[in-house]
Structure 1
Amino acid sequence: MSLTTDVLPTLYQHYTAGGIHSGLNADKPYFTLNDRNVTLYSGSLHYFRVPKAYWRDRLRKLRAAGLNAIETYIPWNLHEPQPGWYDFGDGGSDMQEFLDLREFLRTVKEEDLFAIVRPGPYICTEWEFGGFPSWLLRENDLKIRTSDESYMKHVRRYFNVLLPILALLQFTKGGPVVAFQVENEYGSTEQKGKFTPDRAYLRELRDLYTSNNIVELLVTSDGTSSHRDRGTLPGVFLQTSNFAGNPEREFDVLRELQPNRPVMAMEFWTGWFDHWSEVHHLRNDDDFKRITERILKYPASVNMYMFHGGTNFGFMNGANLKNGLVDNSGYQPDTTSYDYDAPLSENGDYTIKYVMVKELLKKYNNIPTRLPQTPSETPSIAYDASPITHQLILQEVLANQQPVLNKSVVPMELLPINNNTGQSYGYVVYRKRFSTIPANSVLRIGGRVCDTVVVLLNGKLMSKPLNNVDDLNGFGFWNVKNGDLSLGPENRPGAVLDLLVENWGRVNFGNVKQFAQFKGLWQDGVYLNNELIRDWEIYPLEFKRSWTGNLSGWRETGETLPTGAGLYKTRFFVNNTMDTYVDMSDWCKGIVIVNDFVLGRYSRIGPQQTLYLPAPLLKTGWNQVIIFEHYNPSKYVKFSDKPIFKTRNERHPIETPTSFYTQVLSN
């Protein structure tokens, strides 16, 4: 006679009956938790990519699939936006509502799940700068991801605040956290003849954990068959593996390196992420199921990366650099959507992969515990299209701003703002006033743009819009070095030249040198007719909530909207807040701001054509949408009840994804 789920024990009842005596142990060929056998069936779900109001919904859906744990990274750049200023849900930053780490982990336990926490300090995860705060770039010769003291002093300060929070949430202290990952894919930093992973750095991180009363299992993760044990401390940390396919190869190497210890995939890639200009990545469902079953049959523990991808809200998407390049050539910015083709979609809907996971775990999990009923899906709506009613062109936006004066162009990170910690995100405008710009003048931007530039002369758009992927090979984008632009056949007395430069996301993965990701114009000077331009007015445009909310001087729109950079505003009325998608397919390139919060980026080149707008970001009554468009605005803001991507017509197996990231892990 089989037990019904109602009379089964909960996860915590099973593993804590009789009291808690020990945590997750890896000293046998299998895991034990509190001296009871356990196989970890985990899914990645990052609290900072999901609105707080939806945490419980997503966690319950994950538990209902039969998983017993979640994995989350912790983003340093959000939790310490300036040195010594911390935000863990009450710090006042624009992302405050996403950052209550204590509440998230308490909710994890309430939903009968364990937690694997990956605090970094480097996290990758297709996140801006791999989770590093941009103010690290202000220190000369700072060597991130090493035992370099100029780097470690910041890590120590941050970890000595973060780790005591986590220490109170450990399993052996009555919390949900059963394991911590130290650093992240550290073996992939190796460059023959150039860089060797710094094990003194790993020892310093370990000491920080132990000195802050962290007692749970410490692990590392890498592409094990590629990097073996070069990114870990053998015998100190449990090594786990990251891969998309061929699990037996990875697990066999783990067994060779760590005999008589359990094997685990810390990242089994359920799908893949998108760069702008690509087609939307989809992983073949049957292939996913086959690889998942091979993992479970081995048998091994697994963390499915991602189980629910969520969204890179605001400016928080990361980027890659192809082929080890460091000068911004080969730049690949990630999209705002982090759907990942995961078992739970970006808005938390179920996919066929979810059903497959549920069926496989029911088959292979030999320690049944009580599961919740599968929650219903969250409904979505296509609100009526809303006409643009007001506008501000860039020159009007800058009229009330105070510029930074500087002899030469400098990157945004070195601007003397934000308590002298520089600018992290958004845009920077470099302005130069001329008595005259002669006819047939040529503007040259030395080096490569980091990352895009829009050129305006007396407010008129001079550079070409980004209408298709081929335009990335022209002036104004990172593919071009020392780009030239003709300013036209007229003499222009009293000319004002504006160079609007966008940070489209700092690199999140690569060799150590690739992390020197300054944004703006800085690789060389700017020239007019081969003469270096000096004495600039520099305007940071960060689009913080407080700044956007105080914009003034809005003008009603006319029959036609101007080309060039500007802000466009509309409102729409909501009786009952529901999830929706902002459809930007009629616009060119820019960002969408809802109720003063930067929702994310859009670009005609795709693949993403809609921005997920979850109900918690809306309010009953009037809601405001502001579009910052670089080139060509539309007259309406449209909505959809589903996401729209430029995509392939069929799904392809991903035994080895052909992305830069995986190529590096496989080499």
Structure 2
Amino acid sequence: MALTNFSGVSSLPTNYEYFASGGAKNGLSVNGSTMRLNDKEVFIYGGAMHYFRVPRPYWRDRLKKIRAAGLNTVETYVPWNLHEPRSGEFDFGDKDNDMSDFLNLQEFLTIAKEEDLFAIVRPGPYICAEFESGGFPSWLLRENDIDFRNSNPTYMKYVTRWFNLLLPILAMFQFTRGGPIIAFQVENEYALSGKHDLDYLRKLRQLMLDNGIKELLVTSDNPPRGTFGTIPELFFMTGNFNRNIKPQLDMLKSLQPGKPVMVMEYWAGWYDAWGSRHSNFPIETFKENYEIILSYPASVNIYMFHGGTNFGFLNGASNNILYDDRYYFRAVTTSYDYLSPLNEAGNYTDKYWAVKELLQKYNKIKTLLPEPPVPQETESYPAIGIEQQLSLGELLSSLPNVTSKTVLPMEKLDVNNHNGQSYGYIVYRKTNVDIPANGTLLIEGRVFDTVMVLVNGVLVSPWLEKTSDLNRFGSYLRDSSVILSSTALEKATIDIVVENWGRVNNGIYKQYKGLWQGGVKLNDAYLYDWTIFPLEFQKKWTNSLNNWQTFDDETVGPCLFKANLQIAGTPKDTFVYMENWKKGIVIVNGFVLGRYARLGPTQTVFLPATLLKQGSNTIYIFEHFKHALQVEFSKTIVNTLHYQ
């Protein structure tokens, strides 16, 4: 292993040479006031990186940077919804799904060890992570009798099947079997779940034991919750926080007398949500609090050390019912930068150098470290013009459809080999409708999550381009209504386009997307007999589209636009700058890169060079409301919130 340490001295042992020379006979132990690994005292200095948020070709670069900072451990979740995208179909990077290239977990763990890092794995089954549905597959919602995060038999049937496949894979990478994994987390922040089924935690533990898991089992929660989310005699409890540091460390210590203390999530920053202010956690506060943890002394894992990107439709969301019955919903942005030591593009921030400095000071075990890799260059490519477009009607003509007397949520559609629809948009079409002058369309219940209404292909609902617009028709309001036409129309076609803007990642688990809380009325009469289209933007489908029309700069309403980015040399990372558009998604060479929304705060979408190629690259933009005349690029992330 060709590594050099801070001072260039090459006589120091590597991480594995220090802890596993002579064989890894004993794993991580917490049976005393300090942790021990293979019978040697150890402090875990970890950093979170989610392999599924970082392109596979960049894994080694990011892991090397984590190790170069002085950390000895990488931590990751395992997203069930990506690894089992359809019931009984499993993907670990060996399938042809749009996200397959992000899912070779075995390769990620192999590289982690090669880069001299231990690993903590958090397999769930629930992960939160501000990820779509907290990592739960949407096809679980087709089971009417299912309940989540407890001993519900239907839920446990699928958890058992998933764990019986996943855990034997992870078992092969355990420290005592020559691999990097030194600990496994059981469930995730269970004290915050609203559930208290300790038998459920016991069942998860037994599944782990039955599948050969022998390393340390831990839980993580906010210390003020006490032991509500754990079983102290079975699991080692760790804490999650980034403020009020010493009192929370003391609380952890008092909850587990005589045991070491570990912070599983010391939050490096926070995530952003559409329509909310850009998060803020300054370097001074980060550094001060991190030093308090190190000097305590306690083990600590930085969440996130490298946040990465919510590619595709994979962002989560948060929601609450407010005191006046207003429904507060905020979808997480495509960027998961998290104000991390390594930013969204994988390059160094001030927090990185602060971590490196403090670990040099507090880590008593000196091991060989690599030099921090040279930062990767980003590029601001010249703006490119829009060349062609496809209207919503043309897109729907190439899709399968389902007919139903009433509207249905996307999860209940009989598509994708009986797995329903997980992501994207769902379109409800009603034809041959006689619309009286000033006829009003009423959608009962809430829309999940945004809606566009078209009459004869013309958008009649308002745009969502400012934060204040989230309080009007087009968002997740209750009993939303819109006037369809000022004049009478005969045999008209009504299209209702609903976007899944991201399933809530914590607290709500039975969450259907589309229209399902009630019916749809024209004035006082219900509309029946709908044709329903799943508009998913899967790569093969998008790249097969034809009959493109010449770009019309007067177009308003949902439309797919096409541009071409020519790259003469080796592609470089870039950011697609979308502030001059309104709301929609960016697709590159058929792959859904992510969402944009002018309301902010994030105005850019990270485009890694791994998704580009020398020569011609097709950029598609699915815009909800009004397009710009070109696609622009930036070298850096841009944040601006538009209130009014």
TM range (shorter): over 0.9
Give the corresponding residue for 1:599: 593
Displacement of 1:198 after TM fit? 0.3
Q: Distance in 2 between matches of 1:324 and 1:123?
A: 25
Q: Secondary structure at the match of 2:26?
A: coil
- Residues of 1 paired with 2:407 and 2:150: CA distance? 30
| 1:211-247 Cα deviation digits (max 9, x unpaired) | 000000000000012x100111111100000001122
When structure 1 is superposed on structure 2, of 329-338 and 317-326 the one drifting more is: 317-326
- Matched with 2:493 is 496
Letter in 1 for 2:207: L
Q: SS of the residue aligned with 1:388?
A: strand
Structure 2 CA distance for partners of 1:205 and 1:546, relative to 1, 3 Å = same
Measure the CA separation in 1 of the matches of 2:24 and 2:393. Answer: 64
Percent of residue pairs bearing the same amino acid type: 52
Shift of 1:5: 3.5
Decide which of 350, 357, 381 is 2:348's aligned counterpart. Answer: 350
Unaligned runs of 5+ in 1: 191-195, 649-667
Q: Which residue of 2 aligns with 1:584?
A: 578
Aligned counterpart for 1:58 among listed residues 55, 62, 77: 62
Q: Contact 2:600–2:641 at 8 Å: present in 1 too? A: no
3-state DSSP class of the match of 1:507?
coil
SS at match of 1:494: strand
1:100 is the counterpart of 2:104: yes
Choose from 275, 279, 282 the match for 1:281.
Answer: 279
CA contact (8 A) 2:413 2:421 kept: yes
The within-5 A match list for 1:612-623 is 612-623=606-617
Moved over 6 A (4+): 324-328
Question: Which residue, out of 325, 330, 333, partners 2:328?
Answer: 330
Q: Distance in 2 between matches of 1:561 and 1:12?
A: 63
- The residue correspondences of 1:624-663 to structure 2 (distance < 5 A) are 624-646=618-640
Structure 1 residues 26-105: aligned runs within 5 Å:
26-105=30-109
State the partner residue of 1:271: 269
- Counterpart of 1:523 in 2: which secondary structure? coil
Query: CA offset at residue 488 of structure 1?
Result: 2.4
| Greater Cα offset, 202-211 or 327-336 | 327-336
Cα distance, 1:543–1:108 mapped onto 2, change above 3 Å: same
For residue 460 of structure 1, what is the aligned residue in structure 2?
A: 458
Partner of 2:220: 221
Partner of 2:485: helix, strand, or coil? coil
Please state whether the residue corresponding to 1:515 is helix, strand or coil: coil
2:554 corresponds to 1:561? yes
Opposite residue 265 of structure 1, the aligned amino acid is V
Q: Which residue of 2 aligns with 1:532?
A: 526
The change in CA–CA distance for 1:248 and 1:100 in structure 2 (over 3 A counts) is: same
Report the AA paired with residue 368 of structure 1.
Answer: K
Query: Matched residues in 2 for 1:33 and 1:267: separation?
Result: 21
8 Å contact from structure 1 (residues 321, 328) kept in 2: no
1:223 aligned partner, one-letter code:
N
Q: Is the 8 A contact 2:384 2:563 kept in 1?
A: yes
- SS for the counterpart of 1:239 is strand
- More displaced 10-residue stretch of structure 1: 123-132 or 278-287: 278-287
1:552-574 residue CA offsets vs partner (Å, 9 max, x unmatched): 1111114x231010100011111
Cα deviation, residue 156, structure 1: 0.4
1:54-453 equivalences in 2 (<5 Å) = 54-190=58-194, 196-225=195-224, 227-322=225-320, 329-453=327-451
Q: Alpha carbons of 1:326 and 1:91: their partners in 2 closer, same or farther (altered >3 Å)?
A: farther
- Supply the distance in 1 between the matched residues of 2:638 and 2:252 (Cα, whole angstroms): 40
Displacement of 1:19 in angstroms is 1.6
SS in 1 for 2:445: strand
- What one-letter code is carried by the residue in structure 2 that aligns with 1:505? G
State the alpha-carbon separation in 2 of the partners of residues 256 and 175 from structure 1: 33
Residue equivalent to 2:567: 574
CA distance in 1, matches of 2:433, 2:261: 70
Q: Check whether the contact 2:589–2:619 (CA below 8 A) recurs between aligned residues.
A: yes
Distance (whole Å) between structure 2 residues aligned to residue 153 and residue 557 of structure 1: 51
1:520-561: CA deviation from partner (whole Å, max 9, x where unpaired): 001110100111100000000011111111111111114x23
Name 1:660's counterpart in structure 2: none
Instruction: Note if contact 2:316-2:505 (Cα within 8 Å) is conserved in structure 1.
Output: yes
Q: Hey, what's the Cα distance between the residues in 1 that align with 2:559 and 2:7?
A: 63
| Shift in alpha-carbon separation, 1:284–1:353, aligned structure 2, 3 A | same
Measured after TM superposition, the shift of residue 334 of structure 1 is 0.5
**How far apart, CA to CA, are the structure 1 residues paired with 2:263 and 2:144?**
37
**Whole-Å separation in 1 of the counterparts to 2:286 and 2:382:** 38
| Residue 508 of structure 1: aligned partner | 505
> What is the CA-CA distance between 1:641 and the residue it aligns to?
1.1
Query: 1:435: Cα distance to partner?
Result: 4.3
Task: Calculate the aligned-residue CA RMSD, in Å.
Answer: 1.5
Cα distance in 1, alignment partners of residues 193 and 433 from structure 2 = 50
Q: Kindly tell me: are residues 311 and 224 of structure 1, through their superposed partners in 2, closer, same or farther at Cα, counting changes over 3 Å?
A: same
C-alpha deviations, 1:342-363, integer Å up to 9, x for none? Answer: 1110001111111110000000
What is the alpha-carbon distance in structure 1 between the residues aligned to residue 286 and residue 372 of structure 2? 22
Displacement, 1:494? 2.3
Distance, in Å, in 2 between the alignment partners of 1:67 and 1:556 is 54
Partner of 1:665 in structure 2?
A: none
Q: Structure 2 unaligned runs (5+)?
A: 1-5
Secondary structure of the structure 2 residue equivalent to 1:431: strand
Q: Report deviation, 1:141.
A: 2.8
CA contact (8 A) 2:564 2:617 kept: yes
Write the distance in 2 (CA, Å) between the matches of 1:546 and 1:327.
42
Deviates more, 1:321-330 or 1:368-377: 321-330
Offset from partner CA, 1:611-632 (integer Å, 9 cap, x none): 0000001011100000000000
Any conservation in 2 of the 1:280–1:645 contact (CA below 8 Å)? Answer: yes
1:400 to partner: Cα distance: 2.8
Distance 1:324 1:497 in 2: 32
Residue type matched to 1:85 in 2?
E
* Aligned 8 A contact 2:464 2:474 in 1: no
The 3-state SS of whatever aligns with 2:206 is: helix
Q: Deviations over 1:162-213 (max 9, x none)?
A: 00000000000000000000000001123xxxxx410110000000000000
Tell me the CA shift for residue 123 of structure 1.
Answer: 0.2
- Letter matched to residue 408 of structure 1: T
Q: CA deviation at 1:322?
A: 2.2
CA distance in 2, matches of 1:435, 1:245: 58
Indicate if the aligned counterparts of 1:561 and 1:633 stay in contact, CA closer than 8 A.
no
In the alignment, the residues of structure 2 paired with residue 76 and residue 235 of structure 1 have an alpha-carbon distance, to the nearest angstrom, of: 28
What is the TM-score of this pair, normalised by structure 1?
A: 0.94
Change (3 A) 1:235 1:635: same
Q: Is the 8 A contact 2:563 2:620 kept in 1?
A: yes
When the two structures are aligned, how many residues end up with a matched partner? Answer: 636
Q: 1:122 to 1:324 in 2, by over 3 A?
A: farther
User: 1:486 — aligned with what?
Assistant: 483
Taking the aligned partners of 1:22 and 1:498, their CA distance within structure 2 comes to 62
SS across alignment from 1:330: strand
